Amino acid sequence: MKKKYIIIAGILVIVAAAAIWYFFFKAKAPEYKESQIKKSSITLKILATGTVQPENRLQIKSSIAGRAEQVLVKEGQRVGRGQVLAWISSTERSVLLDSARAQGAEEVKKWEDVYRPTPVIAPLSGTIILRSIEPGQTFSTSDVLFAMADRLTVKAQVDETDLSQIHVGQKAQVTLDAYLDKNLDAKVNQVAYEARTVNNVTTYTIDVLPSEKIEFLRSGMTANVTFFGETKDDILVIPNEFIKYENGKPDIQVKTEKKPESREVKLGMTDGKKTEILSGLDETDIVVLPINKKDSKIKNNMLSGPNTGKRR
């Protein structure tokens, strides 16, 4: 019996060792994600960031020091050239009126008729973007009473390598960080002639003008701008996720009867999601991408967590 138990134990050890080897050391065949090469169209897109700024910003000051009697406009209001924005009193008029009030209404009216207030006039048509005075407030000749802008534009910073693809009148689309659900049609209004260099990166400022007046547009907003360039139709394309690079060259894995093989290709323009194939592949090819099961498992666990579907 003892000999029999020893034999059974030995068999169990061998089975356990085989199971451990099978589950932990046996190489499993890799799995691949596939995509059929097909024809499509691509529109060149250049992405840039920028801020909303007035095309022309004008500060309005007073030539005399004094006190505001009436303020007739508010921030965001459209005004015309020559429109009265406020009525102000010089320091001397303010003193005379304050003294007259102690003597009664007739005396006040007398001096108001004799000594008229001074108007603050809009020098151009535009929007009031800053109002820094209120009735009764005193000011000096160095104080800014109002700031005006003729219209708001998006000033985008474009890398010098993309400048050749940008031209006046070109179509663009603006998305504001404050209104991510709204895409604003726009066009290129002006391309800067002078460059800016920050951290050894040379950029040019591109003025982008919305196609229509936007009520919620505010100076200082952060914007993302997409410039639409050349469009190519009926060309072979590949999803960008299937493009890997080895030593700076694109390395594409193509499905075969045995195992995927590396294919040397020449790529053209891209829209950020798919890329044009100039040579090396045709419509009969299927490209593959190894699936990392570990990463997929982590991703699935994250998607099935308690916060699924909630936006933070």
Hey, how many other C-beta atoms are within 10 angstroms of the C-beta on 86?
Answer: 23
Hey, how many other C-beta atoms are within 10 angstroms of the C-beta on 242?
Answer: 19
pLDDT of residue 22: 64
70, 45 Cβ separation under 8 angstroms: no
Closest CA to 254 of 246, 269, 245, 243: 243
**Which residues, including other chains, have CB under 8 Å from residue 254's CB and lie 6 or more apart?**
260, 261, 262, 263, 281, 285, 286, 287, 288
Query: Per residue of the chain (312 residues), what is the pLDDT tens digit?
Result: 666 667 766 677 777 777 666 665 555 567 878 888 888 888 888 899 999 988 888 899 999 999 999 999 999 898 999 999 999 999 999 898 888 888 888 888 888 888 899 999 999 888 898 999 999 999 999 999 999 988 888 999 999 988 988 999 999 999 999 888 888 999 999 999 999 888 888 999 999 998 887 778 888 899 999 999 888 898 898 888 888 888 878 888 888 888 888 888 888 888 878 888 998 888 888 888 887 655 544 444 444 444 434 433
Max Cα–Cα distance, the chain, nearest Å = 132
pLDDT of residue 23: 64
Closest CA to 164 of 230, 232, 224: 230
Would you give the DSSP letter of residue 98? Answer: H
What is the C-alpha to C-alpha distance for residues 307 and 309, in angstroms, rounded to an integer? Answer: 6
What is the C-alpha to C-alpha distance for residues 12 and 7, in angstroms, rounded to an integer? Answer: 9
What is the C-alpha to C-alpha distance for residues 266 and 249, in angstroms, rounded to an integer? Answer: 9
pLDDT of residue 274: 87
Structure tokens at 158: 């474009």
